[in-house]
A and B are shown apart, each in its own frame.
Chain A
């Protein structure tokens, strides 16, 4: 009953309009190479300052879901992934386009994305409240070891190289130590600057890292204008295509959800794993890579499956499931909401509204994807020299409007230069942001645990949930080594 009330809230014209704008905007952002879904959410986050929490979150979810789907448009039609999450879609997608079946591929990807996203949203609605109940039992030691697990995941899977992932992660941790010491209340590393007294704001840092640094990269490398020659008329998929893609899409939706729940593993990983599983389980694996329907449906359902899955740990524990969810943590705290189990007791209405908007946001990109594809194809051929200044202005406004503090704009620009060089050194950026969120949680909960245990580290090992997370952390650290061994033994790539 309560849930239907939330559904009605979300379907209110004022919220629905914002979601429609968000969904369309998200698809466009996702479709533009160089603009990722995280960037889209970060860029548009400032527009939610003036909204209430429900409207703001509804809009951000629509953007993020739309963008993850939108990436497939370019992946299929141009052969360049619009977002990293659609890199796996490209493998099969461009084969379809080469055959002149771009429209057919878009139809399959649109429906599969929706199936994956909707499964994920339903799983979110089913799992999150249960996990929140369990999370109420989490004390400081559990949070500490959970963060430790999240941090090890960042290092081991978010980049191509363990070392580079660790470099980014540690930079994030380092930045997060600036400001008030959580245990003594005294400022540290502020160097007498009153603006640093309570630490750096995460939102301007995210804008700098995800948006401006990408603008710099685009300026230097130049972004070629997208030229789409393929003629796409209708993309409504045929019944036989649907029948063939549906089972794979459903399975991949579950895989994506599961990967989304793991802290720090994002949509790109969900897409590749889904593709891999589909190939391994397929009756005709040799068809993969030549433009087969299952190979297209799997990564698309997988990456959209990640979207709501990543919200599960974000809402229940305050630990973001991927970089987009990290930005959403920032969005919730802006509205005075603290993600975590108490959110489910104190602000259950907002939580239900988020659930409802997750379902609707998936429906929106399905509708606009199927109906508006020709418009999107036009929009994504926009010239980069028009787009880049718009993004730049939005970034400056966004950083300033957060607290009306010009210092934040400076901080945003400084970190964006660091982000720019990281891109060239192939150091992943997402770990910085995840560590920014996890770092303070880890530190304060560790020191709080030690206060409770009067300084004894045994508190982390005698509590079962805490011990469980420590074991997971050890496994995830050893994973790169384990994987090499397994690959050698089985002769396949994992």
Chain B
């Protein structure tokens, strides 16, 4: 009887450790310890290079759930970084608060430059939407972008709208009658749809599917809605099967996977909207560590390993180094200001 009890207790404890070890930050004190020593020692030895990252243990806080697209990109980055830079990279998912929880948790951790967070369009939209005024490019310094998925207008193969011009014209001629599904109100694809309206003067009836794009695809296939706005990757299986057709993508250049699909810009709609995924770090972390991270990750995103891992995960390779990321995000800001103003006005 005693033995059985002891066994059960031991099993419980092992289980408890499993549950914690997988995700709880309390169990991983390493990140804050190791780096604390590193900057203190290295400057004397190698003042030119400053920081040695090859043994660093770095935490990446992902503000979205495990298994999702953002999480996948973060894990690709972590895996590639371990190979290219060395050291250990742990991804933690701190979800909730529309993506704010993870970013706030990163700010709450020690600003030593070894706790990173996901960089995304959130760093522009969260403050503009009035959700979190302080989560901006002023508080976070960009490190890199690895993945970008552009918005695209996608229709059933037998849709009356076979070109983006047809579709936009229908939205101008009969305002508010063409239905356009998105992945939830206020979601980046919804904002992209408002962007199309602002740039063209068309008006669509937006149908939000708050469970995400996958929930809206059956409705598009069944003809309940006329079109959906999402990234081509999200609808790839239906596009390949010939059930759905991409009219245009909101990227700077045509996508390698869809060479025949025009960009919005080509079609006279001056709009670039992409879901971007990369890394950032609290801006007031030690400048030498930030610089070292930025240099190291420029190498990581260019590496063969990283590209292979990303391709295996079916994500679009769209690399930007720190400078490029800052430029890209800042360049998008004015676009989003107008879009979000229109969105807030429409929602009252």
**Which of A140, A187, A335, A378 has a CB less than 8 Å from the CB of B4?**
A378
Please give, as numbers and ranges, the residues of chain A lying within 8 Å of B68 by CB-CB distance.
336
Task: Flag the segment in B80-88, B166-174, B181-189, B281-289 that touches A.
Answer: B181-189
Q: Are A398 and B208 in contact (CB under 8 A)?
A: no
* Bound Cα distance from A137 to B222, whole angstroms: 7
Interface segment among A119-127, A248-256, A341-349: the answer is: A341-349
Interface string of B90-102 (1 = CB under 8 A from A): 0011111110110
In the complex, chain A residues whose CB is within 8 Å of the CB of B96: 195, 197-198, 201, 403, 405
CB contact list, B9-33 vs A, under 8 A: 9, 11-12, 15-16, 18-25
Whether, in the assembled complex, A422 has its beta carbon less than 8 Å from a beta carbon of chain B, the answer is no
* Chain A residues whose C-beta falls within 8 Å of the C-beta of B104 in the assembled complex: 194
B160 contacts chain A at the CB level, 8 A cutoff: no
Chain B residue nearest to A375 in the complex (CB) = B4
* Interface residue tally on A, bucketed by range: 35 or more
Are the C-beta atoms of B94 and A379 separated by less than 8 Å?
A: no
Q: Using a Cβ–Cβ cut-off of 8 Å, how many residues does chain B contribute to the interface with A?
A: 59
Q: Does residue B214 face the partner (Cβ distance < 8 Å to A)?
A: yes
Q: Does B256 contact A (CB under 8 A)?
A: no
Binary B-proximity of A395-424 (CB < 8 A = 1, otherwise 0): 001101101110000000000000000000
Identify which of B24, B100, B215, B222 contacts A400 (C-beta below 8 A).
Answer: B24
- Would you give the shortest CB distance from B342 to chain A, in whole angstroms? 13
A204–chain B nearest beta-carbon distance, Å: 11
B67 within 8 A of A: yes
CB nearest neighbor in A for B218: A136
CB within 8 Å of B: which of A363-416?
375, 378-379, 381-382, 386, 390, 393-394, 397-398, 400-401, 403-405
Q: Tell me which of A345, A381, A440 has the highest count of chain B C-beta atoms within 10 A of its own C-beta.
A: A345
Q: Encode contact with B along A164-184: 1 for CB under 8 Å, 0 otherwise.
A: 000000000000000011111
Q: Any chain A CB within 8 A of the CB of B217? A: yes
Is B347 an interface residue, CB under 8 A from the partner? yes
Smallest CB gap from B65: residue in A? A336
How far apart are the CA atoms of A398 and B22 in the complex, in Å?
A: 12
- Taking a contact as CB atoms under 8 Å apart, the answer to whether B23 and A401 are in contact is yes
Chain B interface: which of A45-53, A425-433, A475-483?
A45-53
B187 contacts which chain A residues (CB < 8 A)?
185
- List residues of A (442-487) whose CB comes within 8 Å of B's CBs: 444, 448, 451-452
**Inter-chain contact B219/A140, CB cutoff 8 Å:** yes
A194 x B67 contact (CB < 8 A)? no
Q: A335: which of B20, B25, B66, B237 is its contact (CB, 8 Å)? A: B66
Shortest beta-carbon distance from A455 to chain B in Å = 11
Determine if B66 and A334 form an interchain contact, defined as CB atoms under 8 angstroms apart: yes
Contacts of A340 in B (CB 8 A): 215
Interface contact B224-A452, CB-CB below 8 Å: yes
- Is residue A138 within 8 Å, beta carbon to beta carbon, of the partner chain? yes
Tell me whether B211 is interfacial, beta carbon within 8 Å. yes
Residue B225, interface by CB 8 Å: yes
A198 close to B97 (CB less than 8 A): yes
- Tell me whether B208 and A448 are in contact (CB under 8 A): yes
Contact status B66-A140, CB under 8 Å:
no
Query: Do B214 and A180 have beta carbons less than 8 Å apart?
Result: no
Q: A50 near B21 (CB under 8 angstroms)? A: yes
Residue numbers in A under 8 Å from B179 (CB-CB): 451-452
| Most chain A beta-carbon contacts within 10 A, residue among B4, B217, B218 | B218
Considering the complex, give the chain B residue whose CB is closest to the CB of A340. Answer: B215
Query: B8 within 8 Å of A by Cβ?
Result: yes
Residue ID in chain A nearest B186 by CB atoms:
A185
A401 touches B20 (CB 8 A): yes
Q: Does A9 contact B (CB under 8 A)?
A: no
Complexed CA–CA distance, A181 and B93 (Å) = 24
Query: How far, in angstroms, from A197 to B184 measured CA to CA in the complex?
Result: 15
- A390, B219: Cβ atoms closer than 8 Å: no
Tell me whether A382 and B5 are in contact in the complex, defined as CB-CB below 8 angstroms, given that A46-B19, A198-B97, A448-B209 are known contacts.
yes
Interface residues of A in 315-355 (CB under 8 A from B): 334-338, 340-342, 345-346
Mark B residues whose CB is within 8 Å of A: 1, 4-5, 8-9, 11-12, 15-16, 18-25, 65-68, 71, 92-98, 100-101, 104-105, 131-132, 179, 184-187, 190, 205, 207-212, 214-215, 217-219, 221-222, 224-225, 237, 347
- 26 of the cross-chain contacts (CB-CB < 8 Å) are A49-B19, A50-B22, A50-B23, A136-B222, A138-B218, A139-B219, A139-B222, A140-B219, A140-B224, A180-B186, A183-B185, A194-B100, A197-B97, A197-B131, A342-B217, A375-B4, A378-B4, A382-B5, A386-B9, A393-B16, A401-B20, A404-B25, A405-B95, A405-B101, A448-B207, A452-B224
Which 3 residue pairs across A and B have the least CB separation, nearest first? A336-B67, A50-B22, A185-B186
